[in-house]
């Protein structure tokens, strides 16, 4: 009897979990292919929310989707494990052992065979090998790192409350991640003040360092100007044209010879693929390690490999690494792979449908752009439309993964939760 066709999806983020869910519901349910998802963690979080986890303004269990539960409902298998290499000739990938918190090996190294592999392992911030950054800076590229930053932030805040001492934080990178984090930290301080036994809140001094001429370079200049004004109004120092040349335990050194001292230092600039792509059997990569793919999202030099989202790069028509692009690419493959499996019909080229972009500065303000470049948000409603739009994108993601009923219940539970739990992480 012929073996069932095996599709392995590596990385259950914005793109990967959407592909696993849709292909599971289609090919998996019909028994026409075995769909397997592997991820180095056990739960999915929507990466555009990580700055809220880092600040502690999001902490709800509902914001995590357990891979095993999603797999059980949507006809795919889930295996925990970090991909460490790819043997393209044998069409096999290797997963690192899974270790328990006390260092015991729970699952040994495993080899997983595939007929088709879909790579969606995302990206990390790129420190461009700037001296001192990897040793002295915090990153918020995944839930573990966001949690680790939050622990340090809460402890530093506790001390500043106790001593009424200023807390200095510097963030490198004026893109959506750094800019939104700067605002979210202030929102966290506002909330923390509610639990301070009447103590005067300490001064939070956040400095946002951007090497380019303005923050939010992916948005029109009027959004950058308005966002800079808003950040300055809540006491964030915005320094554009500030090229960081090094980091140490006390802060950052800038190329112009000046320093920015900071107790906590966050690196949120640049994008590169996880280092493991160099172990993918010589696949064609960009300088930042992204897998080069053709417009059908197929690796340039391997017909059995597709790559989507931040870890991929379409040489013929590059798109910025965003959740919007990752989601559209995932939906494209999930729509066309069933015909490829059933009748060998090739995947058609993918084209990006630009739906615009949104940035939300905590509850202070927000802006969005439509695909034509028209800006909305800001104004006397403090960008309510853009902030609601930002929230709606997350709900859309939840609804797509949970389905309408469970998605609606998740919204209601989140809303009710606000009457029970504090709005900020306190433990």
Which residues contact ligand FAD by CB under 6 A? 10-16, 38-41, 47-48, 50-51, 82-83, 120-122, 140, 142, 176-177, 274, 276, 309-311, 321-324, 326
Angstrom CA distances, 25 to 21, 31, 35, 94, 405, stand at: 6, 10, 10, 26, 17
**CB nearer ligand FAD, residue 176 or residue 211:** 176
* Residue 302 CB, nearest approach to ligand FAD (Å): 18
Closest CA to 13 of 114, 123, 116, 90: 123
**CB nearer ligand FAD, residue 50 or residue 182:** 50
Residue 401, by phi and psi: left (phi above 0), alpha (psi -120 to 50) or beta?
A: alpha
**CB nearer ligand FAD, residue 338 or residue 356:** 356
* Residue 365 CB, nearest approach to ligand FAD (Å): 14
d(CA 332, CA 340): 12
Per-residue tokens: 265: 């230092």
**CB nearer ligand FAD, residue 230 or residue 324:** 324
Phi and psi, residue 262, nearest 5°? -155, 135
* Residue 60 CB, nearest approach to ligand FAD (Å): 17
* Residue 299 CB, nearest approach to ligand FAD (Å): 15
Q: What H or E segment, with its residue span, contains residue 14?
A: helix 14-23
What sign does the CA torsion over 151, 153, 155, 161 have? negative
**CB nearer ligand FAD, residue 47 or residue 160:** 47
d(CA 186, CA 57): 10
d(CA 362, CA 118): 34
**CB nearer ligand FAD, residue 160 or residue 322:** 322
Per-residue tokens: 303: 């017909």
* Residue 43 CB, nearest approach to ligand FAD (Å): 9
* Residue 308 CB, nearest approach to ligand FAD (Å): 7
Q: Using CB atoms, what's the residue nearest to ligand FAD?
A: 13
Q: Given the structure tokens 């696949």, which residue do they identify?
A: 283
CB-based contact 385:377 (threshold 8 Å): yes
* Residue 52 CB, nearest approach to ligand FAD (Å): 8
* Residue 102 CB, nearest approach to ligand FAD (Å): 22
Task: Determine how many CB atoms are found less than 10 A away from the CB of residue 389.
Answer: 19
**CB nearer ligand FAD, residue 9 or residue 262:** 9
**CB nearer ligand FAD, residue 237 or residue 279:** 279
What sign does the CA torsion over 250, 156, 40, 175 have? negative
């Amino acid at each position: 009897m012929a073996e069932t066709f095996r599709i392995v999806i590596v990385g259950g983020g914005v793109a990967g979990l959407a592909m696993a869910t849709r292909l599971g519901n289609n090919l998996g349910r019909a028994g026409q292919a075995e769909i397997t998802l592997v991820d180095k963690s056990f739960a999915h979080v929507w990466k555009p929310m990580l700055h809220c986890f880092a600040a502690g303004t999001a902490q709800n269990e509902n914001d995590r989707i357990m891979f095993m539960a999603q797999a059980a409902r949507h006809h795919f298998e889930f295996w925990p494990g970090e991909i460490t290499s790819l043997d393209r000739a044998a069409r096999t990938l290797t997963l690192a052992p899974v270790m328990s918190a006390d260092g015991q090996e729970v699952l040994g190294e495993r080899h997983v065979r595939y007929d088709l592999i879909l790579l969606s392992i995302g990206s990390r911030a790129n420190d461009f090998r700037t001296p001192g950054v990897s040793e002295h800076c915090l990153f918020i590229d995944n839930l573990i790192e966001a949690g680790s930053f939050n622990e340090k932030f809460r402890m530093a805040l506790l001390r500043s409350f106790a001593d009424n001492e200023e807390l200095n934080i510097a963030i490198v990178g004026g893109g959506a991640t750094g800019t939104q984090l700067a605002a979210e930290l202030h929102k966290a301080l506002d909330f923390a003040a509610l639990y301070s036994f009447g103590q005067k809140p300490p001064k939070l001094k956040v400095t946002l360092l951007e090497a380019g001429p303005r923050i939010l370079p992916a948005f029109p200049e009027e959004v950058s100007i308005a966002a800079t004004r808003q950040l300055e109004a809540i006491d964030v120092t915005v320094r554009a044209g500030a090229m960081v040349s090094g980091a140490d335990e006390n802060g950052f050194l800038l190329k112009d010879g000046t320093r920015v001292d900071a107790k906590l230092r966050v690196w949120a600039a640049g994008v590169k693929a996880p280092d493991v792509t160099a172990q993918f059997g010589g696949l064609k990569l960009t300088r930042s390690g992204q897998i080069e793919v053709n417009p059908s999202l197929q690796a340039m030099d391997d017909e059995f490999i597709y790559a989507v989202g931040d870890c991929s790069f379409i040489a013929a028509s590059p798109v910025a690494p965003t959740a919007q692009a990752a989601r559209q690419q995932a939906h494209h493959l999930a729509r066309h792979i069933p015909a490829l499996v059933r009748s060998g019909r090739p995947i058609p080229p993918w084209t990006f449908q630009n739906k615009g972009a949104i940035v939300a500065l905590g509850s202070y303000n927000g802006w969005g752009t439509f695909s034509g470049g028209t800006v909305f948000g800001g104004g006397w409603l403090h960008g309510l439309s853009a902030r609601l739009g930002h929230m709606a994108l997350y709900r859309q993601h939840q609804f797509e993964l949970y389905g309408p009923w469970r998605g609606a219940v998740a919204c209601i539970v989140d809303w009710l939760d606000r009457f029970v739990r504090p709005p900020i992480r306190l433990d």
